[in-house]
Amino acid sequence: MFSFFANPERFQSLAKWLGPPLAVLAIVGIVGGLGAGLFLAPEDYQQGDAARMLYVHVPAAWLASFSYGFLAIASFISFVWRHNLADSAAEAAAPLGLGFTFLALFTGALWGKPMWGAYWVWDARLTSMLVLLFLFLGYMTIRSVMPDKVRAARLGAIVAMVGAINLPIIKFSVDWWSTLHQPSSLLRAGGPAIENTMLWPLLAAILGYTALFGWLVLVQMQTELDVRKINRIQRLHIGTRLSRPEAPQKDISNG
Amino acid sequence: MAELLDMGKYAAFIWPSYGVSLMVIGGFIVWSLRRRHKARALLRQIEAVEKPAVGS
């Protein structure tokens, strides 16, 4: 399967086919989910209107973990099979993951202040999310700072794979430690613990955020393929230019 | 309307969280599409120069 998608032409045609529906799903899901969460969903019986932050916080937190999982899997494929497209998928996922991890922390802080009385506490869930932010930052720094792009990709992949150990820590932090953060209300044994009128806008927003991630990763990968093609052509030109001074030498030796 | 904007006294927390979320999402969309557009335009430009050179 990996070798099937290793072909850039095949990937480009798949991306052209898959991109538009993902974009539509993203916009409909986000506008519908956030709009319904803000204006239609009922207020929570304990938290009142503050619970409306659920619809921006939970999808961002989900996507932060999801994008890191995607980054780690793409890095593994790139590291083991030296799959160029998997490498560009990993590179594309990192800034998106960083952005959504920031959003999860930011919206969480704004939710925490009225509920806990503090924007930040060194709670296991919050701290493991902060570690996730630094993992994304570390990965992106390695990719952008190292001059040797092949070595940067290999080292970045190792960091991404090792950092994946943080994902179960994030997920189970609320069960393993005594935390201020509430336990999981969606992915838990016995089904979601949320009323349907609040659940549907949340699921729509989660679906919209995930589709947005898929769409933007495809767009970034298409861009990366174009950039690599441009670099290849430019290197070819530099090579041609460099080889020109050798031509007269050849003529002299022949003469 | 005032009640809606007030959000049960949580307006100072709810509106910034939605506002910043939409800004980040919008920013990612604009950044990705502009980057794609620029790369594609540059590639087309280079390929247009390349083709006659290859042909000659």
For residue A182, the 8-state DSSP code is: P
Mean pLDDT of B13-34: 97
Worst-scoring range by mean pLDDT, A96-105, A166-175, B21-30? A166-175
A40 within 8 A of A73, measured Cβ to Cβ: no
Read off the pLDDT band of A2 (50, 70, 90): low
State whether residue A44 is helix, strand or coil.
strand
Chain B contact for A220, CB < 8 A? Answer: yes
Residue A36 lies in a domain: yes
Read off the pLDDT band of A247 (50, 70, 90): very low
Distance CA A204, CA A209 (A): 9
* Min Cα–Cα distance to chain B from A243, Å: 17
pLDDT 10s digits, A172-228:
998 888 888 887 777 777 777 788 889 999 999 999 999 999 999 999 999 998 998
Chain B contact for A210, CB < 8 A? Answer: no
Quote ipTM for the complex.
0.88
Search chain A and give the residue with CA nearest B41.
Answer: A226
* Min Cα–Cα distance to chain A from B18, Å: 7
Residue A171 lies in a domain: yes
Domain boundaries of chain B, sorted by first residue: 25-56
pLDDT 10s digits, B30-43:
999 999 999 999 99
| pLDDT score recorded for residue A72 | 98
Domain coverage including residue A113: 26-177+193-254
Chain A positions touching B16 (Cβ under 8 A) are: 110
- Name residues whose C-beta falls within 8 Å of residue A64's C-beta, 6 or more positions apart in sequence: A97, A100, A101, A103, A104, A129, A132
Residue A88 lies in a domain: yes
pTM of the model: 0.88
Nearest to B28 by CA among A34, A229, A30: A30
Q: How many CB pairs under 8 A join A and B?
A: 87
| pLDDT score recorded for residue A12 | 86
Read off the pLDDT band of B53 (50, 70, 90): low
Residue A42 lies in a domain: yes
Chain B positions touching A24 (Cβ under 8 A) are: none
Domain count within chain A: 1
Cβ atoms within 10 Å of B16's Cβ, excluding its own: 14
Chain A positions touching B25 (Cβ under 8 A) are: 30, 212
Residue A102 lies in a domain: yes
Distance CA A101, CA A51 (A): 20
| pLDDT score recorded for residue A4 | 66
Read off the pLDDT band of A246 (50, 70, 90): very low
Residue in the block written with tokens 């998997």: A86
- Give chain A's length: 255
